[in-house]
A and B are shown apart, each in its own frame.
Chain A
Amino acid sequence: AQSVTQLGSHVSVSEGALVLLRCNYSSSVPPYLFWYVQYPNQGLQLLLKYTSAATLVKGINGFEAEFKKSETSFHLTKPSAHMSDAAEYFCAVSKGGGNKLTFGTGTQLKVEL
């Protein structure tokens, strides 16, 4: 079975500060890993994905994530937070192909002035 654990259900940062959202995965097969963002009352938008190519993955809106097999982690970072980044972020894992996504519990990011 595959699973992801997101540490910290709520993260608060100041505008311009580093954003770090943590995700650890468990998988019996090489995983495909994703970060999705959900703005209030909206659907899920893919931020970035790891599909076994490069371990450092760049996504939209200046976000990036690094796959670290030794730490079973896939943390999401952004060098400088913007007010518009306030949203809920979900880490997810899949076996690939047409297989389901298994989501973490989400991290609510708050950006303060």
Chain B
Amino acid sequence: EPEVTQTPSHQVTQMGQEVILRCVPISNHLYFYWYRQILGQKVEFLVSFYNNEISEKSEIFDDQFSVERPDGSNFTLKIRSTKLEDSAMYFCASSEALAGYNEQFFGPGTRLTVL
């Protein structure tokens, strides 16, 4: 069964450093998303991506964040200068197409720890 994969599973970084979180969405999916979950809190939407551009982003997704689909398979989230409050579990998700409803499939997450 196809699944969304994410690497690394755990990333530890120093405050101010850049991190890149990687995701491989399901191959025939066209919509890609990043969500985050701060420990003990709810899952929050960060950004959605379609046709090589951002289709929607939340207030959390400021200039420190960027997304990219560098090739036909990967979808990345970059945080330019990490802050302590960026420590969270980051989930990638993908879905098939625009028309009607299509389920979002989630990856296992990357736990980011900023020291």
A interface residue numbers (CB < 8 A to B)? 32, 36, 42-46, 49, 51, 90, 92, 94, 96-106
The list of the 10 closest CB pairs from A to B, nearest first, reads A98-B31, A100-B45, A43-B108, A44-B106, A103-B43, A51-B101, A96-B101, A105-B42, A97-B98, A43-B106
What are 15 A-B contacts defined by CB distance under 8 Å? Answer: A36-B106, A42-B108, A43-B106, A43-B107, A45-B106, A49-B101, A51-B101, A92-B43, A96-B100, A99-B48, A101-B43, A101-B45, A103-B42, A103-B43, A105-B41
A98 to B50 Cα, complex, angstroms: 8
Chain B residues whose CB sits within 8 angstroms of the CB of A36 once the complex forms: 106
B interface, size bucket = 20 to 34
Contact (Cβ within 8 A) A32 B109: no
Q: How far is the CB of A93 from chain B (nearest CB, A)?
A: 11
Contact (Cβ within 8 A) B100 A97: yes
Contact (Cβ within 8 A) B55 A44: no
Chain B residues whose CB sits within 8 angstroms of the CB of A45 once the complex forms: 106
Contact (Cβ within 8 A) A90 B43: yes
A42 to B35 Cα, complex, angstroms: 14
User: Which B-chain residue is minimally distant from A49 (CB atoms)?
Assistant: B103
Contact (Cβ within 8 A) A98 B101: no
A100 to B98 Cα, complex, angstroms: 12
Q: How far is the CB of B30 from chain A (nearest CB, A)?
A: 8
Select A98's contact among B91, B95, B107, B108, beta carbons within 8 Å: B95
A17 to B51 Cα, complex, angstroms: 47
A16 to B14 Cα, complex, angstroms: 47
Task: Given A43-B109, A105-B42, decide whether A97 and B102 contact each other with a Cβ distance below 8 A.
Answer: yes
Which of A46, A51, A96, A97 counts the most chain B CB atoms within 10 A? A97
